[in-house]
Amino acid sequence: MSSNTGTGVIDKRGQTDKLLIGVTLIVTLCAIAWAATDADGFVALMKGAKGFMAANFGWFFILSVFLFIPLLLFLAFGKYKDMRLGHDTDRPEFSTFSWIALLFGCGLGAGYVFWPFGEALWHFHKTPYMAESGSEAAYLVAKGATMLHWGFHQWAIYTLVGLVIAFPAFRQDRPMTVSGALSGILGPNASHTLIGRFVEIIASITALWGAAAANCLGLMLFSVGLKKIFGIEVGLSGQAIIMFSIIIAYTLAAYSGLHKGIKMISDCNVWVSVAWFLFILLAGPTVLLLNGMLETVGQYLNYFFSMALFADPYNTSHGWTQDWPIFYYLWNTSWAPFVGGFIARISKGRTIKEYILGVLVIPVCVSFIWFGVLMTATHYIDMHSITNLWEQIQMNPANGSYAVATAFGGGMIVNCLIFLSVAGFLITSADAAAFFIAMQMSHGSLEPKKSQVLLWGLIIGAISIVLLNTNGLDGVKFAGILAGAPFMIVVWAMVYSFFKTLKFEYAIYKENREKEFIAKLKTQILGSAEKETPANTEIPIPAAADSSAQPSNRA
C-alpha cells in the first residue's frame, strides 16, 4: 500500500491555504457585489450562460450522469468490491445508522421538503410530453419525471465524487481535497501543481454557490413556516436574520465536532422527518398512498431509459429538458464537491461495495418511499379539490409541505415538525458545505480550523441572501446550473485518476491477499498435523530382531 509520506512529497495539511482563500474570496465577493447592485444584469448574464450551456452541452451532461450509474455498479460488484477506503485493517468510525443519518443530512437537504409537492403537481398540470396536461396519463408521467430527478441519477453523482476523493485520501494518505483526487494523473503533489490549484478554485467556488442555492430553498420553506405557524411575514431583512441564526446554529455544531454536534443533529432530524411523514401517511388515505408508492417505483422504472436519455433535439418539450433534467443534473453537480467531500470524510474503513450500496442504493430506496407517498398525497388532494393546492404552489412552491399537512388535519404540532425538519436540513447541509470548504482551505486537513468553518459559513449565508434578492427561485436555479457545469469536467478527470490509482492499489491488494492465503493455509496444515500428533507423546519404536534368539521348547 502506497503513501504520500516520502522524499519530495509536500505535505501542508493543517496550514492555511492563503492563495486559495484569496482567489476564492475575490471572485465570490465581486459576484456578490455585482448581484447586489445590478440584480437584473446579473440574472441576464446567468440566464444567457445557462441557455448556452444547456443548448450546446446538454447531451454531455445527460450522458455523463447516465454513465455514472453502471460505472458504480461495476465497482460495487466487480473485482474491486472488497477493497477498503483506507488500510485493509481500517474499520468504520461511525455506526451504520449514524453514517446513513449523516448521508441524509448533507445529501438530502431542504429539497426533500420542498420538491415532492411542488414538482409532482408541476409535471401533472404542465406535462412536458407523452401525455396531455391534467390527464390520468399525465399523473403517471409526473411520477416518473419527478423520480428521474430524485432517484439513482442524483445519488450517483454524490456517490462517485465521494468515492474518488475518499479512496486516495484514506488508502494512499493523500490530502482530502478535489486536487488530491487527481494524484493518479498529477502525482502525489497534485495539490501543488498549477492544474491542481485551478481545480481547487473551481471546486471551492462551486461548493460555495451550490450550498448557497440550496440554502435558499430552506430559507423559503422557513419563511413560509413562520407565516403558517406564527403569522409572521418575512421580508429580506427577516431572511437575513434567519440565515444569521442558522449560521450560529451550525457554527455551534461545528465547534462541538463532527462526532457530537453534527452527528446529534443529523440523528434527531431523521426522527423528526419520519414523524411528520408518518402523520401524512396515517392521516391520509393510507392504503391509497401505499399503492401510490409502489406505482411510483413502477413508473420510474418504466420511463427510466426514455426520460434519462431524452435530449430533446427538436425542442418538442418546449424547454422542459433544459429546465428540469439538465437543471437537476447540474444542481446536483454543484452540490457534489461538498456533499461528496463530506461523504468521503465520514466513510473511512468501509469497503467499496459497502460504500456504494450505502450511499447509492439506500438513499434511493428511501426516496422511493418518501416521494412515492408524498407525491401521491399531493395528487390526491389536488384531484379531489380538498384545498387550492395548485394555486398555493404556483404562488410559492414552499407552500406545498405545510398545505398538504394542513389538508389532512395537521395543526400546529405537525407544522412545527416540518419547520424543525427544515431547520435540521439547513444546519446539516450548510455545515457540511462549510466543513468541506474549510478542509480545502487547510490543504486537505481532516479536522479544519473552526475559524475557517465559521468564515465560509458566513459567506455561504451572504450569498444565499443575495440570491434570494436576485429574481427569487429563478436566480437560485441559474446559480446552481452555472456552478455545476464546469465541475462536471473535473468529475471525469477525477474518475480517470481514480481508476489509475485503483489499478495500482489492486495489484498490491491482490498480492497481499495471496500472501495471507498462503500463510493461513500453512497454519491450517501445521495445525492439522499437530492435532494428529499430540505434543509430548512418545512414539514406540520396534526393537531390532535378534538373530541369536532361540525358539522356546516348552513341553
- Of 151-155, 401-405, 549-553, the least confident: 549-553
Per the CB < 8 A criterion, the answer to whether 84 and 346 are in contact is no
Calpha distance 248→453 (Å, rounded): 11
- Sequence-distant (6+) residues with CB within 8 A of 528 are none
* Residue in this structure with the C-alpha cell 406505482, named with its chain if needed: 295
- The region that residue 551 occupies, defined by phi over 0 for left and psi between -120 and 50 for alpha, beta otherwise, is beta
Residue 473 has pLDDT above 70, yes or no: no
Short-list 221, 212, 338, CA closest to 273: 221
Q: Residue 425 contacts by C-beta under 8 Å, 6 or more apart in sequence? A: 105, 108, 109, 110, 112, 113, 218, 269
Name the average pLDDT for the chain. Answer: 86
CA–CA gap between residue 174 and residue 162 (Å, rounded): 14
Asked if residue 517 is part of any domain, the answer here is no
Give CA torsion, residues 243, 267, 359, 367, to 10 deg.
-80
Helix (H, G, I), strand (E, B) or coil at 128: coil
Q: What percent of the chain has pLDDT over 90?
A: 45
Overall size of the chain counted in residues: 555
> 373: which strand partners?
none
Distance CA 462, CA 209 (A): 10
pLDDT at 541: 52
Q: Would residue 527 count as lying in a domain? A: no
| Residues 337 and 436: beta-carbon distance below 8 Å | yes
Q: Is residue 65 part of a domain?
A: yes
Paired residues of 351 in beta bridges: 84
Q: Out of 294-298, 436-440, 533-537, which region has the weakest mean confidence (pLDDT)?
A: 533-537
Please tell me what DSSP assigns to residue 481.
Answer: H
Q: What is the mean pLDDT of residues 137-160?
A: 94
d(CA 43, CA 478) in angstroms, rounded, equals 8
Closest CA to 477 of 105, 106, 208, 217: 217
Q: Where are the beta strands (DSSP E) in 285-414?
A: none
Give the mean pLDDT of 339-367: 94
Can you state the angle between helices 18-37 and 450-468, rounded to 10 degrees?
20
pLDDT at 423: 87
Residues 6 or more apart whose CB falls under 8 angstroms from that of 356 comprise 72, 73, 75, 76, 159, 163
User: Hey, what's the cell of 111?
Assistant: 429539497
**Quick one: pLDDT at residue 476?**
65
Average the pLDDT over 214-221 and give the result.
81
Whether the per-residue pLDDT at 93 is higher than 70: the answer is yes
Interatomic CA distance for residues 264 and 144, integer angstroms: 34
Question: Is residue 322 predicted with pLDDT exceeding 50?
Answer: yes
* 8 Å CB contact between 263 and 102: yes
- Split at pLDDT 50, 70, 90, the class of 254 is low
265-302 pLDDT, tens digit per residue, is: 888 888 999 999 999 999 999 999 999 999 999 999 99
pLDDT at 7: 53
Q: Comparing 518 with 502, which gets the higher pLDDT?
A: 502
Residues 6+ away with beta carbon under 8 Å from 208: 24, 28, 433, 437, 456, 459, 460, 463, 483
Query: For residue 188, what are the domain limits?
Result: 18-512
25-39, 227-241, 346-360, range with greatest mean pLDDT: 346-360
The answer on pLDDT for 552 being more than 50 is: no
pLDDT at residue 544, rounded to an integer? 47
CA 547 to chain centre: 90
Query: Does the structure show a pLDDT above 90 at 195?
Result: yes
Confidence grade of residue 217 (pLDDT, cut at 50, 70, 90): confident
pLDDT (0 to 100) of residue 154: 93
Which residue would you say has higher pLDDT here, 154 or 543? Answer: 154
pLDDT digits (tens, 9 = 90+) for 303-318: 999 999 999 888 777 7
60 or 8: which carries more pLDDT confidence? Answer: 60
pLDDT at 548 over 80: no
Residue 475: the pLDDT is 65
Torsions phi, psi for 181 (to 5 deg):
-70, -10
CA atoms within 13 A on the CB side of 369: 10
Q: Which residue stretches of 110-193 are H helix?
A: 111-125, 136-150, 152-171, 183-186
pLDDT at 198 over 70: yes
Domain membership flag for residue 305: yes
Please give the Cα distance from 469 to 527 (Å, whole number).
75
User: What pLDDT score does 191 carry?
Assistant: 87
351 falls within a domain = yes
By CB neighbour count within 10 A (0-12 exposed, 13-18 middle, 19+ buried), where does 314 fall? exposed
444: helix, strand or coil:
coil
Per-residue pLDDT tens digits for 385-431: 898 999 999 998 889 999 999 999 988 999 999 999 988 888 888 88
Interval 119-132 mean pLDDT:
86
Show the cell assigned to 234: 418575512
User: Which cell goes with 163?
Assistant: 468515492
User: Can you give the pLDDT at residue 542?
Assistant: 52
Domain total for the chain?
A: 1
Average pLDDT (84-112) is 85
On the CB side of 222, how many CA atoms lie within 13 Å of its CA?
A: 28
Residue 234 lies in a domain: yes
The C-alpha cell at 273 is 422527518
What's the CA gap between 506 and 497, in Å, rounded?
14
Lowest mean pLDDT among 323-327, 459-463, 539-543: 539-543
C-alpha angle with apex 492: 487 to 496, nearest 5 degrees? Answer: 145
The pLDDT value given to residue 82: 95
Classify residue 457: in a domain, yes or no.
yes
110 found inside a domain: yes
Encoded amino acid at 129, one letter: Y
pLDDT at 343: 93
Average pLDDT of span 252-260: 68
CATH code where residue 57 lies = 1.20.1740
**pLDDT greater than 60 at residue 381:** yes
**pLDDT for 549 beyond 70:** no
Q: What is the pLDDT of residue 547?
A: 43
User: What integer pLDDT is reported at residue 145 of this predicted model?
Assistant: 92
Query: Which range has the top average pLDDT, 115-124, 197-206, 372-381?
Result: 372-381
